[in-house]
Structure 1
Amino acid sequence: MPTKLTREQMEYLVHQVQRYFKEERSETLGNLETEELIAFFSKELGPFYYNQGVQDSRKLLMERMSSLEDELYVLEKPIQKNK
């Protein structure tokens, strides 16, 4: 499920990638080839970052649920047993 970037996001990324190639590699990239490079890396790297985000969310949810469970036990009223 590829994510569609807004025009502003794509323009920003194109500028950043072009700047990186110019400063670090002394190469000039055109807009079209830069957009293709971004699309390639998005397709190849995107699932790894997405899956990591899902795992991080799952971990956070489990921590919150555990904390909530602890809080619910604190709310329980003690029951006195008759002898």
Structure 2
Amino acid sequence: MRAGNNIKLIKEKRDDMVLAIKNYFLIEREEKIGDLAAGLLLDFIIAELAPEFYNLGVQDSYKFMEDKVEDLLSIQK
């Protein structure tokens, strides 16, 4: 796993995510996986994929705030 991953989930949220992964495999792939396999997949997603989604959220937030600052500057006298 990637070093420096500081995404921490509360136990209840992690349990919900593990269950969602297990349900996905059961419904979409007709494959039953256990808590360990689903937890390891979740760990992989958090370590390897989540940072990219986080960065996209930061970029979207930056663009939103930049647009709002431009709106604020437009009311100068």
Larger radius of gyration: 1
Pairing partner for 1:9 from 8, 13, 20 = 13
- Map of 1:35-74 to 2, 5 A cutoff? 35-71=39-75, 73=76
Provide the TM-score with structure 2 as the length reference: 0.88
Q: Distance in 2 between matches of 1:36 and 1:2?
A: 16
Q: Work out the percentage of aligned pairs sharing the same amino acid.
A: 34
Gaps of 5+ in 1: 77-83
> After TM superposition, where is structure 1 displaced by more than 3 Å over at least 4 residues in a row?
none
2:24 aligned partner, one-letter code: Y
Alpha-carbon RMSD: 0.9
Say which SS state the counterpart of residue 28 (structure 1) adopts.
Answer: coil
State the alpha-carbon separation in 2 of the partners of residues 69 and 41 from structure 1. 41
Scaled by the length of structure 1, what TM-score is found?
0.82
